[in-house]
């Protein structure tokens, strides 16, 4: 059983490390794209530049960070519910330990 737990721990660490690296690479790529786009922004005609009133998001909408926090909060609650449910399913399918003979 310990070998399985060790394997899962190692796999979990590798997956989370890979996700972290991919997210950091994504952020770095966005910064490069932003810097590249800034080179051309002054060349863009004024009538083609995005206007605040032209966006689909209303001005009164919550900020992006607030929305992300709320969505992740909800996702966490859903994951907790799924976890609890799966634990109960696993417990209901586990055979009781044999009684010890005296």
pLDDT at 64: 81
3-state secondary structure of 33: helix
Residue 74 lies in a domain: yes
Q: 75: domain range?
A: 53-94
pLDDT at 94: 86
Residues 42 and 57 in one domain: no
**What count of Cα atoms within 13 Å lies in the side-chain half-sphere of residue 24?**
6
Residue 2 lies in a domain: no
Tell me how many degrees the CA angle 26-30-32 measures, rounded to the nearest 5.
Answer: 115
The pLDDT confidence band at residue 20, using thresholds 50, 70 and 90, is very high
Residue 19 lies in a domain: yes
pTM of the model: 0.49
What is the b/e burial string over 15-24, where b = at least 16 CB atoms within 10 angstroms of the residue's CB?
eeeeeeeeee
Residue 1 lies in a domain: no
Residue 34 lies in a domain: yes
Residues 42 and 60 in one domain: no
For residue range 42-99, list pLDDT tens digits in order.
655 656 656 655 555 566 778 888 889 999 999 999 999 999 999 999 999 888 878 7
Residues 61 and 33 in one domain: no
The rounded distance, in Å, linking the Cα atoms of 102 and 99 is 9
């Amino acid at each position: 059983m310990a070998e399985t737990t060790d394997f899962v721990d190692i796999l979990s660490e590798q997956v989370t490390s890979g996700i972290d690296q991919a997210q950091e690479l994504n952020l770095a790529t966005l910064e490069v794209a932003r810097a590249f786009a800034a080179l051309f922004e002054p060349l863009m005609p004024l009538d083609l530049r995005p206007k605040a009133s032209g966006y689909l998001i209303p001005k009164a909408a919550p900020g992006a960070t607030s929305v992300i926090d709320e969505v992740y909060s909800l996702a966490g609650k859903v994951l907790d519910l799924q976890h609890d449910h799966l634990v109960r399913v696993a417990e209901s399918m586990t055979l009781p330990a044999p009684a010890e003979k005296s």
